[in-house]
Structure formats: structure tokens, C-alpha cells
Amino acid sequence: MTEQAETRVSALAVLIPAYHAERSLPALLGELRAALPAAPVLVLDDGSCDGTAACATAAGAEVFSHLRNQGKGAALRRGWDLLFKRGHAAVLCLDADGQHDPAEAWRFVDLWAREQPDLIIGDRGLAAAPMGWDRRLSNRLSTRLLNQASGLELRDSQCGFRLLGHGLWQRVRLTGRAFDLESQLLLQAARLGATVRQVPVRQRPAEVPSHIRRLPDSLRFLGRLLEARLVRPGEDA
């Protein structure tokens, strides 16, 4: 990490939306502490019934828990709201299942320190990412459709490893409660003329099963694309 980036870490917070992640969180939080020792970490426990909250607390993270499961999008919105109200300039998000390597957080922090883009999203290099052919095909198709709807030129639109700046958070109007929120954020960022950048990241095999529900989440994604086409510049989506 560059010297310039190290001075910016104090303005950064880390958000991990988590649901039934007691198996993966202890190791992930240990790696994160080694990678960004000065950054506060908030685990947003989305109504887990296992030891997610307890193991996150034991690992030194702050924990905020939903009483019931509301979806990844709802967890992200609540976490961003809590952290940005505290004055953080940017929030780095990682998934709780261990697929994102905290050692690569420096890629986001270095780019943010140099250029201050509004949003940075990880590029997993889908051809080499450890995922089934069906998920790889789905991610490629989702990225192509989102690029067509937004005018962006992303290589991977579905990666949850991303950094959001406070300025963009103040301008977007996010309503998604599930995985569609991450696409809604990109579509609104493009409509607002925000600076969206990508950095290459390595994806590791997830340590816990995915909570994606293929049909409902695909329909929500298509709904976001339709919403983006219907909303005119200057209107909220």
C-alpha cells in the first residue's frame, strides 16, 4: 500500500453484510485486521440464527444485528447509513463467505487515495474465477445487460467487493433489499454521471453456501434494468 493510501485509511470504514457466516467470519476478520489494522469494521448481521454475531464480536468487530433476515441489500443500506453518519469518507464492502481476500483491499485504497472515484468495484476475471459454468454465464450476461442499460464498460458488475464514497451515497436513492441493490447502485451511479472504476481482484472459493435465489434474484435484476430505462435523468429510481 502506498504512503498516500496509508494516510487515507483513517477516513475509511469496512462493512461486511453477514448471514449465517459463523464458519467463515473468524478467519476473514483476522485477515482483515492484518490488512487494514486502522480501519473500523462493522459486521451487519442480517438476522442470523447461528453464532455469526458472537464470533464477529469475539474477533473484535462491531456488530449491528437485524432481528430478522431482510436481505443483503437491506443490510448494506443499513450499514452504509450507520457508517456514513459517523463521518467516514468511504466504506469498503466485503462478502462474509470468505471469497474476497482482504489482502487485496490495498487495490481499492490505493486507487481511492490517488483519484477519489465515487465507486470502485472488483473485477474477478470471470474466466478464471472459481465458480460453476452456470454462475459464470449468468454473471457475464448480467454484466452485458447492465452495461447496455447504463453505458458503463464493466467487466464484472456483480462483484460484492467494492468501495463506495460518501459523496455518491448522498446522491443515490437506493430501495433494493436483496442482491439487486448492488445493480441498482451501479445503474444510479451511471445516471448521475459518477466516476465508476474497477480493480482486478482474486476470488477464492466461498466457505459457506451462497444465499442467492436464482429465479427471484434474476427477476429483481431484470426489474432494475427496466426501472433504469423508464426513469429520466433527474428523477429518482
Structure-model confidence comparison of residues 135 and 55, the more confident one = 55
Domains and CATH numbers, the chain: 8-229 (3.90.550.10)
pLDDT of amino acid 89: 96
Segment 144-158, tens digit of pLDDT: 999 999 999 999 998
State the chain's mean pLDDT as an integer: 88
pLDDT of amino acid 234: 46
Q: What is the mean pLDDT of residues 171-181?
A: 91
Segment 59-96, tens digit of pLDDT: 999 999 999 999 999 999 999 999 999 999 999 999 99
Q: What is the per-residue DSSP string for 4-53?
A: HHHHHGGGEEEEEEESS-TTTHHHHHHHHHHH-TTS-EEEEEES-SSSHH
Q: What is the mean pLDDT of residues 4-19?
A: 84
Query: What's this model's pTM, rounded to 2 decimal places?
Result: 0.87
Write out the three cell numbers for 178.
436483496
Q: How confident is the model at residue 233 (pLDDT cuts 50, 70, 90)?
A: very low
The answer to whether 110 and 5 are in contact (CB under 8 A) is: yes
Helices (H), 86-213: 105-115, 133-150, 166-171, 180-191
N residues, the chain: 237
pLDDT of amino acid 132: 60
Q: How confident is the model at residue 109 (pLDDT cuts 50, 70, 90)?
A: very high
pLDDT at 232 over 80: no
Give the distance, in angstroms, between the CA of residue 213 and the centroid of all CA atoms in the same chain: 18
pLDDT at 114 over 70: yes
Q: How many CA atoms lie within 13 A of 153 on its CB side?
A: 0
The answer to whether 15 and 181 are in contact (CB under 8 A) is: no
Structure-model confidence comparison of residues 172 and 219, the more confident one = 172
- The C-alpha atoms of residue 180 and residue 171 are separated, in whole angstroms, by 18
